[in-house]
Amino acid sequence: MSSTITYVAWGLAGAFFGFVTPLAFSSPYPTPSRPDWTIHKPATAAVAGTFSLASASAAPIVAEPVQTVALVNTVRTVSIRRPIGEAPEPEADAMIVTASLGGMPTRDSAEQPSPAAPLGSASKDDIDAYLWEVYQRQPTKKDRGGDFTWKDPAAAKRMGKTLQSYVIAGMDADFREQLYHAGKAMDAAGVEWTIVSGFRDDWRQSIASGIKARTGYSRHGGSRAVGGYGNGRAVDIGHIERSRSHEVFRWLDENGAKFALHRPYRHFDPPHVEPRIEWRRVASRLRRERTGATTVTETREQPEVKQPAAKRKTRNARVAQSRGRRQN
């Protein structure tokens, strides 16, 4: 028994000195098979805000200047304007959408080409100024219901606008284009016309007297009828001498179709003027004539190209064959 214990003790001692002792004194890190795979820490700490590039080598580290790359954050700002559709542009400035694109050189906004100014002698502001002058040709506003001179200024003050911006700019831009050209033609014909009432919002319509549409349904600018401010599509006109207003009505009845204008209620509301059905197209044509823009020509159908005789025979044969199948 004692001899067995002795053998076991010598075996354990041999295993300890043969395996455990070499592991205790060996390196915990394996020796790389390729020296260029060893990655050493850089000799100098990287500067904040930069990228640090360190060499990878098994050779002893030599203190060398660290190569740094500065962070670059170049941004280009692009302005995208909303395209103009068939509807007229709003009175406010065009909407600007700004997007940032990284990695592109910045271009000064002053280098952007400015849009070309409209041609012609009359601009949009000239149209509004002319219609405002026509409105002022008759300072006192009267109709069969009495003096209502105070109503337009009260409505403009309530909306926070000047009287000109209220009664003139409240009308649709295309409708103003029509009135401008028709008014200039009346001036040339010696008809001294004036605007008795222009744009009217719902509140202004509610205090109107005499023959009128329901509040919100007036073509002068009712919110339900046309959409409110900037969409007025009706105007009351007359002569600067109220007793001669029939001259204005007669001229418009005879010439209004050229400008897509008419008086739909001649018998019970003679001063009331509205655009005709094709008014958008006519207003566009009048605007092109005013600005000198190139007129868009209508596209015509191209003449049919005659096919060679062989192709025609083949096509006719296929048509006859298909007809025979349908009949069967």
Q: What is the pLDDT of residues 122-152, one digit of tens each?
A: 788 999 999 999 999 999 999 888 899 999 9
pLDDT band at 31 (very low <50, low <70, confident <90, very high): low
Beta-sheet pairing, 193-197 with 146-147: unpaired
Number of folded domains in the chain? 1
pLDDT confidence bin for 14, thresholds 50/70/90: confident
- Rounded Cα distance, 308 and 326, in Å: 27
- Cα dihedral angle (277, 281, 283, 287), rounded to 10 degrees? 180
Residue 181 falls within a domain, yes or no?
Answer: yes
* Domain contains 66: no
Cα separation of 271 and 250, whole Å? 11
pLDDT tens sequence across 290-322: 998 755 443 333 444 444 555 555 666 665 565
- Residue 103 within a domain: no
Residue 200 belongs to a domain? yes
What band does 5 get if pLDDT is binned at 50, 70 and 90? Answer: confident
**150 close to 141: Cβ distance less than 8 angstroms:** no
CATH code of the domain containing 250: 3.30.1380.10
User: pTM of the prediction?
Assistant: 0.55
> Which residue, 238, 215, 247, is CA-closest to 144?
238
In a domain, residue 207? The reply is yes
Asked if the structure places residue 281 within a domain, the reply is yes
Q: Over 50: is that where the pLDDT of 96 sits?
A: no
Reported as a single tens digit per residue, the pLDDT across 194-233 is 999 999 999 999 999 888 899 999 999 999 999 999 999 9
- Average per-residue pLDDT in the chain? 74
3-state secondary structure of 19: helix
| Residues spanned by the domain of 145 | 124-291
At residue 166, the pLDDT reads 98
Residue 13 lies in a domain: no
